[in-house]
Structure 1
Amino acid sequence: MTTVKTGLSRKLLTRVLSVYFILTVIVTIGQIFTEYLSTKNHIESELKTLKNTFSTSLTRAIWELNTPQATSIAEGLLELPIIEGVQIRDEMGEYIANLGNTSEQVSTPVQSGVMQDHTGGIFGYSFPLIFEFSGRASHVGDVTLYSSFDIIFGRIEVGVFFLVGNAIIKTTFLVFLFMTAFRRMLSEPLAEITEQMGAFDAEHPHESKIAVFVEDDNELRQLQYSYNQVIDDLIISQNKLHGTQEALQRAYRQLDEQNLLLEQEVARKTASLSQIMLDLEQQKDELIANQRELRQENEHRKRVEDELRERNTELARSMEVLDQTKDQLVESERMASLGGLVAGITHDVNTPLGVSVTAASFLQDRIATLQKGYEQKSLTNSQMNAFIEDAQQTSALLMSNLHRAGELIASFKQISVDQTSEAERTFNLKVYLDEVVQALAPHFKKNAHTISIQCPLDLVVRCAPGVIAQLMTNMIINSLIHGFETMRKGRIEVEVSVDDTNVTLVYKDNGKGLTEAQLDKLFDAFFTTRQDKGGSGLGTHIMYNLVTQTLDGTIKADSAPGEGLRYHITFPHHQ
């Protein structure tokens, strides 16, 4: 049997005792440190108590400039067991006495009692000397009393030795107790079990059971029981194995008989197999011919693949040309929308400008008449009053029409600049929507269509305003051209709402609507219901790209025949 190099009980005992030893060292050190701190605090209290003992006489001696007496007091303090050094300074920070083990101090006088640690294992208590005379306090100097670690250790030396000795005695006793308990309860029973298990005889397993005396019903007894149970199972298995071996021998005899029959059958099968091999040779020749035809077919397919690659390359170039053409068509669509605004705004501006020209011409004629009467000295008060009244009415008419024309031009200028630029700016959405509708007003003059906008008056957004103008223009023009194609009185409603993160714009009309098939293709490029009437099919496609790419939002459309068209647009709210 192989000898165990590291016993389980020894390893367990070593770990337990190591943990106990570490804990004992930590606790002992903690107790010594606590005793040290307690003793140091006691000595500091004694140093503070000494202040009341000699400060009065020392203060008077310094006040009276009696340096020998002050030195004598310092020497007397140095004789005390807890004092290792004394420093006495005057009010200028000059040393009167500097005796024993001391440390250099700053020149600033001490203003209040303070305890301070110094290098070399010493610490000191410094306090000022105040002399009171005629109700007035005067600072005459300061005193520092020094003590050291040696004094503290001298007081706690016996206690430290007692703590260390106590820890050593307890550790020694515990080591002896653990070693005895481990040897009796674990090492010896384990050794006996190991010895009996090492004597296992496979030929006589019933004699290999282990019998170890264990006082308690513990793991060792369970190990003994489990091992003996394994021996019992092994005996049962051996008995079954003997029966199986006998059955196997009978099966071998039957197998020999079957082998004879099988050899006879193999002989018969060999003859038929030879015929099958001849057939396989013929099939092999046919397979070789088929492989030759397949190789020719593969070469043909390679030529076809080369032609397909050339066609794909040509198709890719055509797609690039198509994308460029598409971009040009999109830009043309935007310019066409801006051109529609120009035509409408030109007609609206011409009306107030024509009225203004007529008014200015009338006013010019009246001024010429007035000047002629003035030169001929035939001007009367009634003529002058009539001229003033006409001039007031004409100037009022002229100003109102010029103001109207200026508003139209300013609105068109802002919208046209926004539509040709994608620069972002902050603007009031309600005011801007009204300006877009005002710019599109000429398109509503020839019919009875109406448009209403519901939007918070203080809603301010930051985005490219040209995008909003392009969206509104495309939706309104599409409603006028497609939705209201056969209607005289259409209605457009725009509702704008806002929450913490998004702005929602809902546009709807009561036009003829779209079928389900048309609605599925609404945002596709080049899709239009007026292909035969010059429609480009890019208006809604531009809208989709503006919302999803420029505004980083979403756009959805709902419609049914006879129920109008509804757009639901959502984009982030940036202020």
Structure 2
Amino acid sequence: MNPNNTAKLSNHPLTSVIGRRIILILVIISSCITLLSTLMQLYFDYSYEVDAVHTRHEELKQVHVESLAINLWEFNEAQLQLRIEGLVRLPNLEYIQVRSNTGNQQWSSGEAVKGDKFSSHYPLIYKGPGTEAPFSLGELYVESSAERIYQQLIKKFASLLLINGIKTFIVSGLILWVFHLSVNRRIMTILRYLERYRPSQSHIPLKLDKPKYITSSHQDELDVLSVAINQLSAMLNNLYAEIEQEKSRFSDFANVASDWLWETDTNGELIFVSEQMQQQLGSNKNFSQLPLTDLFPSQRAQLEQLLVQKQDFRNIEIPIVLDEITHYFLFNGLRQTNEFNTFTGFRGTAVDITVRKVAENALQELNDSLEQRVIERTQQLKDSLEQLQVTQQQLIEREKMASLSGLVAGIAHEINTPLGVAITAGSLLEPESSNTEQKEVYDLMQSSLQRVVKLVHTFKQTAVQSSNARVENINIKSFISDLAVGIQHNLLQKHVTLEIEGDEQLEWQTVPSSWAQIISQFINNSLEHGFSAPDQGSSQENMIHLNLQQEGDELVFTYSDNGKGMALETLEKLFEPFYTTKRGSGCTGLGMHIVFNQVTQVLQGHIEATSSEQSGICIVIRAPRLELNTDQNSH
């Protein structure tokens, strides 16, 4: 809507164009009806008056002609004149004249009518007693004024027009005022609302006033229109918000996209350049109305050929030098037309395919050296196969050790019962004297039996019972620190320093008893096999280092010391049962085998060890997080 047109409108009733038009039409129709009805009324009144005149004349003929003829017969002039004067006073009579056939005498009363008139001639015939035939004495002449009737009709016509005009004016004014209150003012409210409406502003619904006693409490057409306008304005607000959001989104995409976005006019001059394109080509340039071909002089001919054809083009590869580096771009362009299908320019993109081009070149180079790659790939497959074989061997070894552990535990269980009987029976053979040879034999027998008991207990530990393992959520560093307190005395004897590193807050769901057995065995092995006795004069400080950390879903426990270490052949048999380098010192060679079973079967992890002579040992255990036991006796 033109604001100048709405500014001319006013809330005054008389300024309403529609209201004035309606009143004008109403006045014209009312005037035509009034004029037609008035003319019809005048016609009826005219007919009535004319009929009244004719009736009056006929009355004179029927009633008074005979008496006038008698007066004329008797030649009673006074009575005749008196009667004529009395008759002329009757309505619709202006002039009466009686003329005698003899002597040209005449008697008259009233004034002769000038102008239009109604006149009648009636013969005066006397038919009295003694006369054989009627005798014509004279003539009665009567005039009635038509002008008087015209004047009466004109006055009546003017009065009717005046009354109807006043009535029409009053009714038109009331109708105009009612129309203004019920329609025009509400239409003006709608116009003002639409004039001030902006989809970019927050939506304010349109509200129409409803004057009391003039408008209905129910919805009328303007109410329905206001509801439709509110729905439309709300929809426009939502659409505008969505358009602005999409505009902002596409603007951001265009500005952050690595692709170039551009648009030209019919002459091939740029009218839009994306921010990315400006930055790469130089933001200090003025791209407005700059021909696209001027940006790439080395490719001017190819670009001009594309633009001159005024047709869509796709995937046109063009090399462009940017910062002394050759980049490769794929240009795409879509021709733009107006509603008359007239060409208006191009909209297009330029995709940097330098990386792909480099990859293609690299692929070409790779294809050129395909034989070398095949050799390398074959070697990788060979290495993978060897690794698979090693893994398979480890699994076989794990199953072998598990079977051996079960066998050893079974044998220990079978030995345990007769061993108990032997210990009980041997206790009954204790001699009374402590200085006899029998006493020495008894002590040797008891020490040997106790050693067998200890070995049987160790054998039982090789078969790990995972069903008795209780999974708990513990602070792993705090748990290990508590274990270290219990073996602190043994560490002090060998002058060993124990260091524990790890997250103070790290909690893990695992089997605490297994970790206690594993860590105790590690430390005992270091004290027994790794470190020299204090009296051997070693100047090196003995250290044991424990490290705890979480890597993904695994707990990584690293145990290391700076002891003697071990040879490669010893390291390869580290986890085998009954293998020990100090069998003569009472070692059974089952400690690290028990550790291996605890890690692989109870903790469901795996263990690796590295060592060399005089460089200590390093053992890494990787264990997953276990599920908590729902019942102490089930898992």
The question of a shared fold, defined as TM-score above 0.5 by the shorter chain, is answered with no
Q: Which has the higher helix share?
A: 1
Higher alpha-carbon Rg: 2
- Normalised by the length of structure 1, the TM-score is 0.37
- Normalised by the length of structure 2, the TM-score is 0.34
